[in-house]
Amino acid sequence: MNFGELFSLKGKTALVTGAAYGIGFAIAEALASAGAEIAFCCRSSEHLKKALEDYSAKGISARGFICDVTDESAVANMVGKIGRIDILVNNAGIIKRIPMTDMSAEDFKEVIDTDLTAPFIVSKAVIQGMIERGGGKIINVCSMMSELGRETVSAYASAKGGLKMLTKNIASEYGRYNVQCNGIGPGYIATPQTAPLREPRPDGTKHPFDSFIISKTPAGRWGAPEDLYGAAVFLASRASDFVNGQILYVDGGILAYIGRQPD
């Protein structure tokens, strides 16, 4: 067997939601490097323009769409324009860091709508086409908060926990049609969005959250976007054809670690 072909995505089309930057962009870049044609969406024309420039700079010919993934009709319209979709990555998401007792129901629902209902909507829009073509791959970006709680993220953790179970249910319901649905659970990844938490403060000291994450990560560092490449290509390729309903945590070992014993 040619193991290179096992991981090849040549001839496949991947839709990655929320892939204008950050983790979504990194996953799209990985899939493109394995041969996939890339389509992505975001909600801002400004982000779309910048993302197309960034993809072009990487040598990736990507199709970009402005789409609110919580809107069923908008998603159906986008999917219709893309046509064949072999790989779906549900990456679009938001977080609102608000103590639960201070959080409005409207804020809670907005996070649930974006992080849980939207993956349901987009998956539903592509599954029938996957079935008709003999199979497909769905990858949900689930986060460690599908397993852990933390202060101020009640809505996000609830959504990601629900997304973990949606992943398992899609696998259960459509596995017989050769549709594999799995999740990636990133740890703390060094992206522009997390830069303020990692950069030294004006007095030269580390941000407390930076020290906290490093102390809780057996790898002793933040993850890099490139750390997600292998997991994304594996779950999108033939190599994972008998892997279904699983969450692959790419977290440097955080979920396996109770923490360092005090000196």
- Percent of the chain beyond pLDDT 70? 100
Closest CA to 230 of 59, 14, 30: 30
Question: Which has more confidence, 262 or 204?
Answer: 204
Q: Is the pLDDT of residue 139 over 90?
A: yes
Of the candidates 169, 47, 83, which has an alpha carbon nearest to the alpha carbon of residue 119? Answer: 169
Domain boundaries defined on the chain: 3-187+226-250, 190-222
Question: Across the chain, what does the average pLDDT equal?
Answer: 95
Q: 184-221, pLDDT tens digit by residue?
A: 999 999 988 788 888 888 888 888 989 999 999 999 99
Three state DSSP letters for 10-33: CCCEEEEECCCCHHHHHHHHHHHH
By CB atoms closer than 10 A (0-12, 13-18, 19+), residue 61 is exposed
Checking DSSP bridges between strand 179-186 and strand 247-250, what pairing results, if any? parallel
Lowest mean pLDDT among 3-17, 38-52, 199-213, 224-238: 199-213
Q: Which residues contact 47 (CB under 8 A, 6 or more apart)?
A: 20, 21
Instruction: Say if CB 132 and CB 86 are below 8 A apart.
Output: no
User: 156, 174, 229, 249: which one is catalytic?
Assistant: 156
pTM for the whole structure? 0.96
**First CA to last CA distance, the chain:** 51
Report yes or no: 235 and 248 within 8 Å, Cβ to Cβ.
yes
Residues 6+ apart with CB under 8 A from 163: 90, 115, 116, 119, 140, 142, 146, 183
Q: Clarify whether 188 is annotated catalytic.
A: no
Give the pair of three-digit tokens for residue 245: 């309903």
Query: Which class does domain 3-187+226-250 fall in?
Result: alpha beta
pLDDT, tens only, 20-63: 999 999 999 999 999 999 999 999 999 999 999 999 999 999 99
pLDDT computed for residue 1 by the predictor:
64
CA pair distance 246, 259, nearest whole angstrom = 25
Write the single-letter amino acid at 167: T
